[in-house]
Amino acid sequence: MNEPGRQIQNLAKEKIFTLLHSRPEGLTGAEVEERLRHVGRNTFEVPDRWKTLRGLIKQFTNFFTILLIVSAGICFGAHSINPEESMDILGWALAGVALLNALFSFIQEYRAERAMEALQKFLPQLVEVRREGRIVKVQATEIVPGDLLILSEGDRITADARIVESEGLMANNAPLTGEAASVNLTAAPCAKRLTEASNIVFAGCSIVRGTGQALIFATGLRTEFGKLAHLSQAIKRTPSPLEQETAHMVRVLTVIAVIMGAIFFGYGVATGRPLWVNLVFMMGIIVANVPEGLLPTFTLSLAMGSLRMAKKNVLVKSLNAVEALGAVHVVCSDKTGTLTMNSLSITEITDPLTGAAVAPGLYRQTLALALSASEVRVTENGLSGDPLDVAVAERFTEAGGDLAAIQTNLRHYFAFDVAKRRSAGIVDYQGKKVFVVKGAFEALRPMLAAVASGGNEKMGEGSVPADTVSLDQAEATMSAMAARGLRVIVVAFKVLEDDLVTSGEIPDAMQESLEGDLILAGLIGIEDPVRPEVPAAVDKCHGASIDVILITGDHPETALAIARKSNIVAPEEVAHACAMTGEELSSHREEELMAKLAQGIRVFARTTPEQKMKIVAALKAMGKVVAMTGDGVNDAPALKAADVGIAMGRQGTDVARESAQIILLDDNFASIVAGIEEGRCVFENIKKFTNYVLVSNGPEILPYLLYILLPVPLALNVIHILSIDLGTDIIPSMALGQEPPDSEAMRKPPRAREQGLLTPALITHSYLFLGLLEGAWSLALFFYVLLAGGWTYGQELTLADPLYRSAMGIALSTILLMQIGNLVGRRFSRRSGLDKGIFRNRLLLLGIMIQVVFSWATLYFPPMQKVLHTGPVPLSIYGLAWFGIVLIFGVDYLRKRIMVGRER
What is the gyration radius of the CA atoms in the chain, in angstroms? 35
* Calpha distance 749→541 (Å, rounded): 10
pLDDT digit string, tens, across residues 792-801: 998 989 888 9
Q: Which amino acid is at 296?
A: P
In a domain, 275, yes or no: no
Shared domain for 332 and 468, answered yes or no, is: no
Shared domain for 664 and 784, answered yes or no, is: no
* Calpha distance 314→651 (Å, rounded): 15
In a domain, 132, yes or no: yes
Model-level pTM greater than 0.85? no
For position 654, what pLDDT does the model report? 76
Q: Which of 6, 59, 31 minimizes the C-alpha distance to 217?
A: 6
For position 510, what pLDDT does the model report? 76
Shared domain for 321 and 369, answered yes or no, is: no
338, with CB counted inside 10 A (0-12, 13-18, 19+), is buried
Q: Name every residue whose Cβ is closer than 8 Å to that of residue 246 and which is 6 or more positions away in sequence.
A: 294, 295, 298, 686, 757
Which string of DSSP letters, residue by residue, matches 507-542? PTTHHHHH-SSEEEEEEEEEE-PBPTTHHHHHHHHH
Last residue of a domain, one of 656, 675, 694: 675
In a domain, 322, yes or no: yes
* Calpha distance 413→423 (Å, rounded): 8
Range of the domain at 159: 8-44+123-234
For position 296, what pLDDT does the model report? 64
Shared domain for 486 and 542, answered yes or no, is: no
In a domain, 682, yes or no: no
Neighbours of 196 (CB within 10 A): 14
Shared domain for 542 and 485, answered yes or no, is: no
* Calpha distance 787→784 (Å, rounded): 5
Total number of domains constituting the chain: 4
* Calpha distance 122→113 (Å, rounded): 15
* Calpha distance 358→9 (Å, rounded): 51
Shared domain for 770 and 662, answered yes or no, is: no
In a domain, 829, yes or no: yes
In a domain, 187, yes or no: yes
Last residue of a domain, one of 234, 253, 275: 234
* Calpha distance 650→123 (Å, rounded): 9
In a domain, 150, yes or no: yes
pLDDT digit string, tens, across residues 426-470: 999 988 899 999 999 999 999 999 998 876 667 767 789 999 999
Shared domain for 331 and 430, answered yes or no, is: no
For position 391, what pLDDT does the model report? 92
Contact 127, 143 (CB under 8 A): yes
**Over the chain (904 residues), what is each successive 10-residue block's mean pLDDT?**
61 88 93 92 74 78 72 78 71 78 73 65 79 91 94 88 90 72 85 86 86 92 73 46 67 77 82 70 68 67 80 80 85 88 89 89 92 88 85 92 90 84 91 92 93 75 88 94 92 82 61 88 93 92 93 90 92 80 92 94 88 92 91 79 87 78 88 90 88 90 83 87 76 86 81 76 92 96 96 90 96 96 92 86 92 95 92 96 97 94 80
Shared domain for 352 and 492, answered yes or no, is: yes
Shared domain for 545 and 650, answered yes or no, is: yes
In a domain, 284, yes or no: no
CATH of residue 469: 3.40.1110.10
Last residue of a domain, one of 611, 642, 675: 675
For position 850, what pLDDT does the model report? 93
Helices (H), 360-440: 360-372, 387-398, 403-409
Shared domain for 14 and 144, answered yes or no, is: yes
Which DSSP helix (H) or strand (E) runs through 878? helix 875-903
Mean pLDDT of the residues in the chain: 85
Q: Which of 171, 168, 173 minimizes the C-alpha distance to 154?
A: 171
CATH of residue 210: 2.70.150.10
As a three-state string, the secondary structure of 631-664 is CCHHHHHHHHHCCEEEEECCCCCHHHHHHCCEEE
Shared domain for 501 and 567, answered yes or no, is: no
Q: Name every residue whose Cβ is closer than 8 Å to that of residue 9 and which is 6 or more positions away in sequence.
A: 162, 189, 190, 192, 194, 197, 199, 200
Shared domain for 28 and 160, answered yes or no, is: yes
Which string of DSSP letters, residue by residue, matches 425-481? EEEEETTEEEEEEEE-HHHHGGGEEEEE-S---STTTTEEE--HHHHHHHHHHHHHH
SS3 127: strand
